[in-house]
Structure 1
Amino acid sequence: MNTSLACAIDDAPAPLYIVKTSTIHGTGIFARSTIAPGTCIVEYQGERIQWEQALDRADAKGPLNHTYFFSLNDGRIIDGGKDGNAARFINHSCEPNCEAMEHDDGRVYIYALQEIEAGEELSYDYALIYEERHTPAVKRAFACYCGASACNGSMLMPKRSARYRAQKALAK
């Protein structure tokens, strides 16, 4: 997919989604009508900040916090909690029906991976990386409630084992 082009939603008369209460987690975004695979649904918007600012904001919320941060390829972060839009309410799923793609201009758009029926909740895999130890408290804080048949129970990416990290270090 050419990610240098603007998404057609910029000219759309109405959003393809509605925001309402979710059974997955708090608030969610749902298809207003059937959405075809490959359709650009919404841009993920918010204040663009440096990584250090994101760390400061996360620290202010406490060690186990949920944010609306979206990491960009250039190292910056989109903070959807500040000047963000409804895209921040798209929930995680282990079997997502959407994916987030960063375009060449640094804008992030959410695309349908498959046909999404009217009323179906939009989701993508957060693939969260948490560097600290995955303690029971951390696992509870980042528990997944997507209900997918292949749900792994967590929004976090699995940590690599110490053995794997040692092998990677030796390979360098």
Structure 2
Amino acid sequence: MFRIDSEHVIDATLTGGPARYINHSCAPNCVAEVVTFERGHRIIITSNRKIQKGEELCYDYKFDLEDDQHKIPCHCGAVNCRKWMN
């Protein structure tokens, strides 16, 4: 799920473009940005550093904070892993 604003969320669970396969990391090599056009919003993915050939693309999902009961564990393996995606 990707929150565009307080009213709009994109859910690419069942269908979407290739970006739906980009995983989360607490030390990402990409960033996701919402861009507004005349006909609506789009999400663009750009690199935030040089990406090596064969390196997996990833970005920080930055899920909304949840109470402990609804926390989603993070298994990204980054040195600075927050242990939770929300």
Root-mean-square deviation (Å): 1.6
Cα distance in 2, alignment partners of residues 149 and 130 from structure 1: 21
Task: Say which structure is richer in strand.
Answer: 2
Structure 1 segments unaligned to the other structure (5+ residues):
1-68, 157-172
Report the 3-state secondary structure (helix = DSSP H, G, I; strand = E; otherwise coil) of the residue aligned with 1:87.
helix
Shift of 1:74: 6.3
Identity score, percent: 40
Cα distance in 2, alignment partners of residues 101 and 123 from structure 1: 13
Partner of 2:34: 102
**Any residues of structure 2 matched to 1:119-138 within 5 Å, and which?**
119-131=54-66, 133-135=67-69, 138=70
Cα distance in 2, alignment partners of residues 150 and 83 from structure 1: 31
Structure 2 segments unaligned to the other structure (5+ residues):
none
Taking CA–CA contacts closer than 8 Å with sequence separation of 6 or more, which of the two structures ends up with the larger relative contact order? 2
Q: Which string of whole-angstrom CA distances, capped at 9 and with x for unpartnered residues, describes residues 66-124 of structure 1?
A: xxx21113621222124312211111111111000111221101100000001101111
The amino acid across from 1:147 in the alignment is: G
Cα distance in 2, alignment partners of residues 122 and 108 from structure 1: 15
Task: Say which structure is richer in helix.
Answer: 1
Cα distance in 1, alignment partners of residues 54 and 63 from structure 2: 26
The amino acid across from 1:127 in the alignment is: K
**Any residues of structure 2 matched to 1:20-169 within 5 Å, and which?**
69-73=1-5, 75-105=7-37, 106-131=41-66, 133-135=67-69, 138-139=70-71, 142-156=72-86
Runs of 4+ in structure 1 over 3 Å off: none
The amino acid across from 1:134 in the alignment is: D
Shift of 1:130: 4.2
The amino acid across from 1:87 in the alignment is: A
Q: How many residues are aligned here?
A: 83
TM-score, normalised to structure 2, is 0.84
The amino acid across from 2:51 in the alignment is: I
